[in-house]
Structure 1
């Protein structure tokens, strides 16, 4: 794997570490539901899906 792809994945990992940190998670902890789901669940699962898509994009560019 090229060095720049490794660096992109490391930056993604550090960003996710910050995004899943407790003080940031508590910003989205509200009792008001959004589309019938708690806001924190939508935040966690949307970050999870976005991280998968970004890592897939980085890895697929490596294999081209």
Structure 2
């Protein structure tokens, strides 16, 4: 039963990733702003990417127990 729940969570993370990395949301961060010397869009993209990897790793490790 836990594997089914983990699979559902992974699908939810995939859908969240698709929404967060799609045009309407990306256009919100396409501004001429600089954060830590990097463009805001790049900081957003790598932050979301890192967050998605972290959540997937947490789900997979938690499901392995």
TM-score range, shorter chain: over 0.9
Q: Which runs of 5+ in 2 are unaligned?
A: none
5 Å-filtered alignment, 1:1-64, equals 2-64=3-65
RMSD: 1.0
Give structure 1 stretches of 5+ with no counterpart.
none
Runs (4+) off by over 4 Å: none
Q: Distance in 2 between matches of 1:23 and 1:58?
A: 27
Aligned residues: 64
